[in-house]
């Protein structure tokens, strides 16, 4: 059952929540494999389970049933502290609402995943400077998130997601809070980062089919069920 | 790594203060005010306890009161008149090892001081006896060494008597004040003069005599019998009645326990009000920080560091606020009630209680950030 080549391997994964006395299944069973270097869009209507699936892939939630192998390791068997380490070292997150810490400067937000690794302060600063340069935010290290535009805040979130060189980047509606032009810029940035590492996986949850089409494959969810997986068009968006 | 954590804590705290100075100031002020209340409560409890301790003699468990009277019913038995029993003769009892010391207290005696007539309680003591909880024994010993008397602060202040002044106990006995003993007048009992029995050997017994028994003296009943026998050997035909100190002071002891319990209860009520106040402010503070904690959890920062960061952050506010509260309490006490001493332990107890409470409330509230899976917590935090 375990496909040793897959970075992500979900086997009949389900997720349900207890709402009062009723157990409500919001996802699954879903079976999905993502190969190294693959970029994948997850699309579907609201409430179809896209974000829940992304949370399970990102080890942010435990599946209620099924198996999930991340890089060949059974992620369902991991303790919370082990899953935290997986998130910190192997996964980068980008969210629709950016989820930056308002009290911290841009540089400190980006440095957060490195703060608890055994790294020298100088090394961390160098990493942060390099990654901020890469996302086009040089010179804004000392600014607070509230002093930046939406697009810039999302770039900070992207910088934070890639600063620890993760194998998997998960983006939940990364363009949802941005105007179309800025959204395209952010998507281009994500694709560029993805392409820089041949084995890195990029998974994007989106409503926007134009965004989805930029990726290698598109999976469609409806009512918690995976109804199709089709190749994307790898189309270039026109700003 | 520790450097990074500390930096994050302080920069986070500093930035929070800059962004929301009102919330941080309210929390800080609330904690300070609560600390003032708790310290005031503890100081009141400590003050009540101390005041009552000063009203009682020393170790009550080893105290035995002896009343000596004359048996008048049988005229055939030769009796010793009471006025012939000198208090210094009681030294025999101490020499026999039956007691370690004694004292006799006579209230409402008139004496003459340089400023005029004064009324005071006179306590004659064996000289090595620790009276009033053993708190003023050094002064009493000094009085004996100087062959003078000791007066309490209440007497000293009321009648303007100082060390070196002379007190006329009666027309033929004048003694120098060699020591002023006891705490400040508010805590002290009524004006009292302490007279070492050794310097007035001819003073006679005209009240109950309290004997302090050795710690290994055996049961009170046995010692009472031995004491009675010894006294009756010294003075023929006298009646000796003994009563344990615990029985004599039972009412005062009950009063002591009741007042102490009420004072501590009062202090705890103040502490509780303080915690409710601090708790509501801390809950606001922690709730404001929850999104940040959830984001940190999401990106994989270990929970232990997040707990430490939260606790350290609240501790930074807590320490500065409670220390300020303690200083405010001391200042207020010195202005509003300078006669009430604020004991060091009350201050320390107040600070510790508030800090422990602050951390406990923080930890309990922060559990909400850690109880849910990060994915669910993240969705709920927005």
Task: Supply the pLDDT for residue A74.
Answer: 93
What would the mean pLDDT of B251-264 be, rounded to a whole number?
78
Query: Given B190, B213, B248, which residue is the final one in a domain?
Result: B248
Sequential DSSP letters for B116-128: EEEEEEEEEE-SS
Query: Whole domain around residue B227: which residue ranges?
Result: 60-248
Do B275 and B331 fall into the same domain? yes
Instruction: With a cut of 80, say whether residue B264 has pLDDT above it.
Output: no
The shortest C-alpha distance from A236 to chain B (Å) reads 30
* pLDDT of residue B334 exceeding 80: yes
DSSP states of B27-42 as a string? HHHHHHHHHHHHHHHH
Instruction: Give the DSSP letter of residue B204.
Output: B
> For all residues of chain B together, what is the average pLDDT?
77
Instruction: State whether B214 and B314 are in the same domain.
Output: no
Beta bridge partners of B149: B177
With CA atoms as reference, the chain A residue closest to B4 would be A115
For residue A112, CA distances in Å to A18, B100, B148, B206, B304 come to: 33, 72, 76, 84, 15
State chain A's maximal CA–CA distance in angstroms: 53
Q: Has residue B265 got a pLDDT over 50?
A: yes
| Residues of chain A positioned with their CB less than 8 A from the CB of B302 | 81, 84-85, 116
Cβ pair B295:A100 closer than 8 A = yes
Count of CA atoms in the C-beta half-sphere (13 A) of A41: 28
CB-CB under 8 Å, B374 with A118 = no
Q: What is the pLDDT along chain A (239 residues), one digit of tens a residue?
A: 556 688 999 999 999 988 888 888 899 799 999 999 999 999 999 889 999 999 999 999 999 999 999 998 999 999 988 999 999 989 999 998 899 988 889 999 999 988 777 778 888 999 999 999 989 999 999 999 999 999 999 999 999 999 988 999 999 999 988 888 888 888 988 999 898 888 899 999 998 888 898 899 999 999 999 988 888 766 554 44
Chain B: closest CA distance from residue A148 (Å): 16
Interchain proximity A88–B303, CB inside 8 Å = no
Contact: B8, A104; criterion CB under 8 Å: yes
Q: What is the mean pLDDT of residues B324-341?
A: 84
Which of A51, A108, A113 shows the shortest C-beta gap to B8?
A108
* ipTM (interface predicted TM): 0.90
Query: Which residue in A99, A100, A122, A156 has the most chain B C-beta atoms within 10 A of its own C-beta, making it the best mutation to test that interface?
Result: A99
Please count the structural domains in chain B. 2
State the pLDDT at residue B183: 62
> What integer pLDDT is reported at residue A230 of this predicted model?
82
Instruction: Identify the burial level of B117 via C-beta atoms within 10 angstroms of its C-beta, where 0-12 means exposed, 13-18 middle and 19 or more buried.
Output: exposed
Shortest alpha-carbon distance between residue A109 and chain B (Å): 10
**Confidence (pLDDT) at A21:** 83
Put residue B13 in one of left, alpha, beta given phi > 0 → left and psi -120 to 50 → alpha: alpha
Which of these three, B248, B280, B302, is where a domain ends?
B248
B257 and B275 together in one domain: yes
B338 band by pLDDT with thresholds 50, 70 and 90: confident
Q: How far is B33 from chain A (nearest CA, A)?
A: 27
* pLDDT for res B82: 59
pLDDT at A237: 47
Q: What is the per-residue pLDDT across B227-243, written as a single tens digit (0 to 9) for each?
A: 778 777 777 777 778 88
For residue A49, what is the DSSP state? S
Is the minimum CB–CB distance between B308 and chain A shorter than 8 Å?
no
> B72 with B170, same domain?
yes
Query: Considering only alpha carbons, which residue of chain A is nearest residue B15?
Result: A103
Chain B residues whose beta carbon lies within 8 Å of the beta carbon of residue A99: 291, 295, 298, 378, 382
B292 touches A103 (CB < 8 A):
yes
Q: Domain check: are B134 and B231 in the same one?
A: yes
* pLDDT tens-digit readout, B207-222: 778 888 777 666 777 7
A84 touches chain B (CB under 8 A): yes
Last residue of a domain, one of B232, B248, B264: B248
Domains delineated in chain A: 8-231 (3.40.50.300)
Same domain as B86, residue B46: no
CA distance B12 to chain A (A): 6
Chain A closest-CA separation from residue B294 CA (Å): 9
- Chain B CB within 8 Å of residue A116 CB: yes
According to the model, what pLDDT value does residue A239 have?
Answer: 42
| Phi, then psi, of A102 in degrees rounded to 5 | -60, -30
Q: Which one of A89, A91, A108 has the shortest CB-CB distance to B11?
A: A108
Residues of chain A with Cβ-Cβ distance to B301 below 8 Å are 84, 88, 112-113, 115-116
Facing A112 at nearest CB: one of B296, B375, B376 = B296
Question: In this structure, are B152 and B50 located in the same domain?
Answer: no
Q: Is the pTM of this model over 0.80?
A: no
B289 and B226 in one domain? no
- Of the partner residues A55, A84, A95, the one whose CB lies closest to the CB of residue B300: A84
Shortest distance, CA B30 to any CA of chain A (angstroms)? 23
Q: Are residues B89 and B219 in the same domain?
A: yes
Q: Are residues B181 and B316 in the same domain?
A: no
The interface residues of chain A toward chain B in range 54-73, judged by CB-CB distance below 8 A, are 55-56, 58, 60-62
| Surface of A (167-226) touching B: CB under 8 A | none
Contact A104 B1 (CB under 8 A): no
How large is the average pLDDT for residues B57-81? 68
Q: What is the pLDDT of residue B199?
A: 82
Residue A71, classified by CB atoms within 10 Å of its CB into exposed (0-12), middle (13-18) or buried (19+), is middle
**pLDDT of B223 strictly over 70:** yes
A101: helix, coil or strand? coil
Q: Containing H/E element for B50?
A: helix B21-55
Q: How confident is the model at residue B372 (pLDDT cuts 50, 70, 90)?
A: confident
Alpha carbon B15 to chain centroid, angstroms: 45
Phi first, then psi: give them for residue B8, nearest 5 degrees.
Answer: -65, -40
Shared domain check, B258 and B238: no
Nearest chain A residue to B292, by CA: A101
The answer on B273 and B140 residing in a single domain is no
Question: B105: exposed, middle or buried (C-beta count within 10 Å: 0-12, 13-18, 19+)?
Answer: middle
Cα–Cα distance measured from residue B244 to residue B239, given in angstroms and rounded to the nearest whole number: 17
């Amino acid at each position: 059952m375990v496909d040793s080549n897959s970075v992500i391997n979900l086997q009949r994964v389900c997720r349900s929540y207890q709402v009062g006395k009723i157990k409500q299944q919001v996802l699954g069973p879903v079976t999905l494999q993502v190969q190294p270097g693959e970029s994948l869009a997850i699309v579907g209507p609201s409430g179809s389970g896209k974000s829940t699936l992304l949370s399970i892939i990102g080890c942010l939630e435990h599946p209620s049933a099924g198996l999930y192998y991340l890089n060949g390791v059974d992620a369902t068997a991991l303790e919370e502290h082990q899953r935290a380490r997986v998130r910190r070292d192997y996964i980068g997150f980008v969210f629709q609402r950016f989820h930056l810490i308002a009290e911290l400067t841009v540089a400190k937000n980006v440095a957060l995943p490195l703060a608890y690794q055994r790294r020298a302060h100088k090394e961390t600063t160098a990493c942060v400077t390099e990654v901020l340069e890469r996302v086009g935010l040089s010179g804004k290290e000392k600014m607070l998130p509230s002093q930046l535009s939406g697009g810039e805040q999302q770039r900070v979130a992207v910088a934070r997601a890639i600063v620890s060189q993760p194998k998997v980047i998960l983006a939940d509606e990364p363009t949802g809070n941005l105007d179309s032009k800025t959204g395209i810029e952010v998507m281009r940035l994500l694709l560029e980062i993805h392409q820089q590492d041949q084995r890195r996986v990029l998974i994007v949850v989106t409503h926007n089919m134009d965004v989805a089409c930029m990726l290698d494959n598109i999976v469609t969810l409806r009512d918690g069920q995976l109804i199709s997986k089709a190749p994307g068009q790898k189309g270039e968006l026109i700003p | 790594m520790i450097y990074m954590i500390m930096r994050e804590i302080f920069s986070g705290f500093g930035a929070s203060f800059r962004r929301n100075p009102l919330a941080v100031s309210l929390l800080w002020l609330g904690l300070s005010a609560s600390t003032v209340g708790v310290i005031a409560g503890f100081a009141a409890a400590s003050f009540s306890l101390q005041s009552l301790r000063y009203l009682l003699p020393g170790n009550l468990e080893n105290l035995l009161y002896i009343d000596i009277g004359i048996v008048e019913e049988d005229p055939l038995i030769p009796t010793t008149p009471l006025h012939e029993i000198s208090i210094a003769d009681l030294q025999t009892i101490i020499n026999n090892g039956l007691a370690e010391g004694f004292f006799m207290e006579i209230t409402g005696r008139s004496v003459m001081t340089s400023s005029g007539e004064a009324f005071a309680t006179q306590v004659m003591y064996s000289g090595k006896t620790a009276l009033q909880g053993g708190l003023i024994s050094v002064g009493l010993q000094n009085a004996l060494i100087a062959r003078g008397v000791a007066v309490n602060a209440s007497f000293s202040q009321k009648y303007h008597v100082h060390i070196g002044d002379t007190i006329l106990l009666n027309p033929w006995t004048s003694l120098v004040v060699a020591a002023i003993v006891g705490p400040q007048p508010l805590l002290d009992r009524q004006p009292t003069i302490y007279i070492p029995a050794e310097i007035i050997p001819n003073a006679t017994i005209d009240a109950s005599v309290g004997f302090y028994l050795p710690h290994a003296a055996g049961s009170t009943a046995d010692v009472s019998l031995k004491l009675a026998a010894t006294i009756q050997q010294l003075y023929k035909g006298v009646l000796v009645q003994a009563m344990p100190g615990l029985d004599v002071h039972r009412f005062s002891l009950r009063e002591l326990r009741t007042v102490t319990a009420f004072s501590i209860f009062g202090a705890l009520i103040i502490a509780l009000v303080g915690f409710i106040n601090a708790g509501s402010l801390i809950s606001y503070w922690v709730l404001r920080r929850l999104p940040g904690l959830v984001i940190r959890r999401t990106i994989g920062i270990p929970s232990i560091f997040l707990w430490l960061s939260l606790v350290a952050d609240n501790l930074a506010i807590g320490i500065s606020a409670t220390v300020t509260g303690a200083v405010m309490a001391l200042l207020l006490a010195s202005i509003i009630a300078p006669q009430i001493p604020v004991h060091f332990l009350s201050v320390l107890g107040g600070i510790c209680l508030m800090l422990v409470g602050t951390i406990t409330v923080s930890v309990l509230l922060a559990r909400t950030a850690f109880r849910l899976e990060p994915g669910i917590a993240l969705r709920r935090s927005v």
